[in-house]
Amino acid sequence: MELTIFILRLAIYILAFPIYLLNFLGLWSRICKKCFPYFLARFTVMYNEQMASKKRELFGNLQEFAGPSGKLSLLEVGCGTGANFRFYPPGCRVTCIDPNPNFEKFLIKSIAENRHLQFERFVIAAGENMHQVADGSVDVVVCTLVLCSVKNQEQILREVCRVLRPGGAFYFMEHVAAERSTWNSFWQQVLDPVWPLLFDGCSLTRESWKTLERAGFSKLKLQHIQAPLSWEMVRPHIYGYAVK
């Protein structure tokens, strides 16, 4: 099995050589940063259609974590195009963080389509360093399809805990590594070396639930599912929330 994976990876390396060359020259990341938001805008439409029931279930109790004012203060990390906005409760105050400034025009469109929300600001920053957000200043942090691509999962979760108020919650929905000894796991391992180059740092083989279990939340509600998605590679999912 390991030899087969090695041979198939080698073939992919050869086929993807032009991409690796552009990446070596420092050009590929610039191309991706500009093009990826357009891909994600299309992908999230499909993803929301196929995952709408799971998202409604996940975000159904968001309002329970609102502060004394009754208004929910929410920070979305890796907000992308704002695909989650329609699932947030009315009056929710939303701050967005993403390292890619090219998402801003897509966010503006999503804000215009979701007038039930109170949009506060868009911060251009990586989730591992959210120094623009004060300690204990938000009720909820949301992160969907982000832990697969961040450079340091442990650091981003430390930042999440820092910005959450005591008793606040972290909501997540992520694709993860498939169960080992399955065909899905086999193909994830074959494709994983080139996948991050094609999809802005995304990894197919991360066991993100283990990082969440080690993060030190007082409560963790986590479910594993096979998401009803067209792309089999990303069907293994976890979703749920954790309380600080």
In sequence order, what DSSP letters do the residues of 41-86 get, joined into one string?
HHHHHHHHHHHHHHHHHHHTTGGGG--TTS--EEEEET-TTTTTGG
Q: What is the DSSP string of 105-161?
A: HHHHHHHHH-TTSEEEEEEE--TT--TTS-TT-EEEEEEES-TTT-S-HHHHHHHHH
**Which run of H or E residues covers position 176?**
none
Closest CA to 126 of 95, 163, 151, 92: 151
Mean pLDDT, range 214-233, rounded to an integer: 94
pLDDT of 151: 92
pLDDT band at 113 (very low <50, low <70, confident <90, very high): very high
pLDDT at position 1 is: 75
Written as six digits, the tokens of 119 are 């949009």
Mean pLDDT of the region 105-113: 93
Question: pLDDT digit string (tens) for 146-166?
Answer: 999 999 999 999 999 999 999
Where does the pLDDT of residue 103 fall: very low under 50, low under 70, confident under 90, or very high at 90 and above?
very high
Residues shown for the chain: 244
Q: What is the mean pLDDT of residues 199-218?
A: 95
pLDDT of 56: 96
CB contact at 8 A, 88 and 94: yes
Superfamily of domain 1-243: Vaccinia Virus protein VP39 (3.40.50.150)
pTM of the model: 0.94
